[in-house]
Structure 1
Amino acid sequence: MPKIKLQTKIKATRSIVFDLSRSIDLHKISTEHTNEEAIAGKTSGLIGIDESVTWRAKHFGIYQNLTSKITEYNRPKYFTDQMVKGAFKEFKHEHHFKELNDETLMTDLFYYKSPFGVLGKIADKLFLKKYMIELLTERNRIVKQFAESERWKEIISK
């Protein structure tokens, strides 16, 4: 199963970074280029334990639906979302948050299995893993941008 690990240092409190990371509204902003929208379940605000969201987005020229559910949650240290239904055979996305002096270290661990057996493994090597890294990196860039400015207040209220 491929694994992607990304680490992002953010000059903001852990609770702000944690809440931005589980914001449906901020996720929409970070995925504007895929026309991603929440169409079922939790469709705005902050998602929490045992809540799910169904996303509709255009990837590789095809509209797809993906439903994920928050399966682990310990605010503000970590949460995990897992695919319930979608194009992947399976995926699990762990979000970890660690305080470092006046910063937060945000660590993403993204595990996934592509569909289509051997063809899926070939797709992983040719383009899918790179594509997923780019999506996650853009999401993290937006979380960082909002967290390090006053813009986080547009998304969450203290």
Structure 2
Amino acid sequence: MTHLEPGAVDVRTLADHPLTDAGSSALRMVAPGAVTAGRFGLVEYRLAPHSRGADPHVHSTFSESFYVVAGELTLYAGDRWQPCRAGDFALAHERGVHGFRNDSDEPATFLILFTPGIAREEFFAEMAELRRSGRRPSPEEMTAFYARHDQVMVDV
């Protein structure tokens, strides 16, 4: 179901949103914006031990919320990297500098909620394809890629 009428209920199973391998991580588009009528997007993310997730960056048109399900995620928030454990929640408002990585010896599983539900799945699909292909885009190509997906990298 791609468009919900008022009062409708949409139930999705794991088969509806398979896990996508993205190198040292894996992600699952649990509820893309197309399913939620653009209200939100929800991603389940699994990050391997000692892995980079996303360097500090900002978005101008959407917020990201992080909820740690298992393990420990290191989140850049405000002006520093800090550990977040299972049950911790963090919200990065529009234009809020944030990033994430796994500094621990165990995998980290967390949810990312995008509000509103922009087509963020396209960003993750393109990133996974870049990793699979082994192609190394130029800095100019990466800047254009990020700009297309409302992501500006920030030096901290």
Q: Could you say whether these structures have the same fold, taking a TM-score greater than 0.5 normalized by the shorter chain as the test?
A: no
Q: TM-score, normalised by structure 1?
A: 0.28
**Higher helix share goes to which structure?**
1
